[in-house]
Amino acid sequence: MRTRKPVIGIPADRRLLGPHPFHCVGEKYIAAIAEAADCVPVLVPALGEAHLEDWLDSFDGILFTGSPSNVEPQRYAGEPSAPGTLHDPERDATTLPMIPAAIAAGLPVLGICRGFQEMNVAFGGSLWQRVQEQPGFEDHREDHDQPLEVQYGPRHLVELADGGQLHALWGSRDLMVNSLHQQGVRELGRGLVVEARAPDRLIEAFHVAGAPAFALAVQWHPEWKAMNNPFSRALFAAFGEAARVRASRQFQ
């Protein structure tokens, strides 16, 4: 009898392609779930809370991805966005209530970049909209004039928290990561525990204290060619294993 692989929900962006709205997820995230986590990726349309309970019943884990859009600042009492900033209110309305509900329901959760920021906001935290303009912080943005291989290439070390979950996963305090963001954690959300910091002390990863299952988020992009990166493989494998545990319990 064939064993069913865990199903991972991936909430989508809502984007206009020409005059029509589409619900989109970057292929690199889909590939990382299918290959490095060895799970079945399922795209979740940005429809708000309408189907939240059904989605939580259907999935064995949820991946909150990066995106070109930013969380709307009114979601965390932030200053108005600079003109031209891309937002996605439909995604906000879908992911922000989904995050605490999924964690409370015991679903494994992994957040990446925007997903990391969403998880912070969902737990009452706030964001710097332009980290590079804040005293004491470095410029964490990618150079869009460079090819993708350079944009997603190693950029800086992060220091993993001694005894933290990522430290245990990696076995070392130092990890080289890429960096493709200008937003970052300003105030850490309630119940979130720092897992990694950049050299300028910007928070780069956290976990949800007391979560009944895997609940981690990172600011960098481990999904980029995940199978070629030992840490990325380990991270997605741990997420996939947590989803397998969840799936096995669902069918006992």
Task: Tell me the per-residue pLDDT of 114-133, one tens digit each, with 9 for 90 and over.
Answer: 999 999 999 999 999 999 99
Phi, psi (deg, nearest 5) at residue 185: -70, 125
State how far the Cα of 12 lies from the Cα of 44, in Å rounded to an integer. Answer: 6
* Residues marked as catalytic: 113, 221, 223
Q: How far apart are the first and last CA of the chain?
A: 15
What the block records as the tokens of 150 is 């350079």
Q: Say how many CA atoms lie within 13 Å of 221 toward its Cβ.
A: 22
Residues 6+ apart with CB under 8 A from 77: 126
Could you count the other beta carbons within 10 Å of the beta carbon of residue 105? 16
Tokens encoding 75: 């979601």
229 - beta bridge partners? none
Closest CA to 192 of 124, 109, 245, 113: 124
- Residue 169: predicted pLDDT: 97
Q: Which pLDDT score is estimated for 4?
A: 87
Residues of the chain whose pLDDT is less than 70? 1-2, 250-252
- What is the distance between the alpha carbons of residues 36 and 221, in angstroms, rounded to a whole number? 14
Torsion, Cα of 81, 185, 228, 150 (10° steps)? 50
pTM strictly above 0.85: yes
- Check if the beta carbon of residue 37 is closer than 8 Å to that of residue 71: no
pLDDT of 2 reads 57
- The β-bridge partners of 205 are 196, 218
